[in-house]
Amino acid sequence: MSDFLMPALGADMEAGTVVEWRVEPGDRVRKGDIVAVVETQKGAIEVEIFDEGVVSEIVVPVGTKVPVGTLLARIGERVAPQPAAAPAAPPPPAPVVTTPRPVAAPAAPPPSVTVPAHAKVSPAARRRAAELGIDLAAIAGSGVDGAVTLADVEAMMARVAAVPAAAPTPARRTGFDPALMRRAIAAAMARSKREIPHYYLSHTIDLARARAWLEARNAQQTVTGRLLPAVLLLKASALALREVPQLNGTYVDEAFRPGEGIHVGWAISLRGGGLLAPAIRDTDKRPLPDLMAAMRDLVARTRSGGLRSSELTSPTITVTSLGDRGADSVVGIITPPQVALIGFGTIAVRPWIADGQVAPRPLVTASLAADHRASDGHLGALLLNAIARLLQEPETL
């Protein structure tokens, strides 16, 4: 038996509302199955389960708001039904006795069986019940021998009409409340600045080789197969974290916990305001075309309300790019319990010294906000330098 609890879908979440159950008692579930939809300040999130078994009890009904950690359901194991016992062999027949016996008195007649009330229905009542969709078995007839009459059907219809209709089930919301999200973001960022000793670094990177490689590759692709510069920045960041794993993980219970994999949270702005940073799992292991497809899919589902709970709970670091917004650089705030955030500004052509000469080059400023409890400036600088080096070899990403 295991407990399925209300998950913490981000550091800013304190409670959630169950708006839909996708399982019921008796259903078998496996790891990764969507079992419920929970609404938070960030919208409606599909919640996965990480155990396997059979749903034995739904504890929290739909429409109930409960704090993080509240028991939502119990998961147990199905008990295999025991095979039915074989019927006992009949006793051997008694020996034939030839001695005459007294004739037994005739058995009493069986008790009379009451005929159901709907066994007799007048033709008019049957037609009217069919028109109204009324079950004749539910009507006690008032006619001769309990026959159901037209008046009985009309009386039943009047009673049904007098019962108030049940309130319609509210539609599941898939959007979000911008005011609630803004308050949630403010609370999480205030906590971050209050509790995490931030330090900041930045590094300017020459993207001439990366841009040339990208343009040559995209020229050979269809529109749907082309890559955006952001995917190179994301992949380089993930590969750099292999070299500096001290910045990939979380700080929990006064200790750093390395991430089990590099699951980069990609910051996505929402059309109504606010942002989310769901994870792209195993970012470092994905080929660039696969990573580009994952980014597009994640952006679409984030803005339409189709995120899974694991995508919000598994990021080991956040990467944000404001290049398409025109910001020269990003000075980020760490999302607890993560220990770092990487930011990229606009890719802009500026004067740059290359091979002893001043030349126009496409440059981007990469920044790092990191937790001084888990690392220091030395490791932070190594990470930024690793990103810069990897971007000089785009064909290896």
Q: 26 lies in a domain?
A: yes
Check residue 74 and report its DSSP letter: E
Q: Do 279 and 209 sit in the same domain of this protein?
A: yes
Q: Do 134 and 282 sit in the same domain of this protein?
A: no
Q: Do 14 and 154 sit in the same domain of this protein?
A: no
Mean pLDDT of the chain: 83
- C-alpha torsion sign, points 286, 289, 294, 295: positive
Residue range of the domain that includes 58: 2-76
Instruction: Give the per-residue pLDDT at 78.
Output: 53
Q: Do 240 and 386 sit in the same domain of this protein?
A: yes
Q: Do 263 and 151 sit in the same domain of this protein?
A: no
Residue appearing with tokens 């400036």:
377
The reply to whether 198 belongs to the active site is no
Q: Do 46 and 151 sit in the same domain of this protein?
A: no
Domain count for the chain: 3
- Give the CATH number for residue 153: 4.10.320
Separation of alpha carbons 320 and 323, rounded Å = 9
Q: Do 233 and 380 sit in the same domain of this protein?
A: yes
Split at pLDDT 50, 70, 90, the class of 323 is confident
Residues 313/336, Cβ–Cβ less than 8 Å:
no
CA 238 to chain centre: 24
Q: Do 363 and 304 sit in the same domain of this protein?
A: yes
Q: 186 lies in a domain?
A: no
Q: Does the pLDDT value for residue 107 go beyond 70?
A: no
Q: Do 245 and 348 sit in the same domain of this protein?
A: yes
Q: 81 lies in a domain?
A: no
Q: Do 261 and 375 sit in the same domain of this protein?
A: yes
Catalytic residue selected from 118, 203, 263, 372? 372
Q: 103 lies in a domain?
A: no
Q: In this structure, what token pair is assigned to residue 351?
A: 């004067």
Give pLDDT tens digits for 342-375.
999 999 999 999 888 999 999 999 999 999 999 9
- C-alpha torsion sign, points 268, 273, 274, 278: negative
Domain end among 41, 76, 111: 76
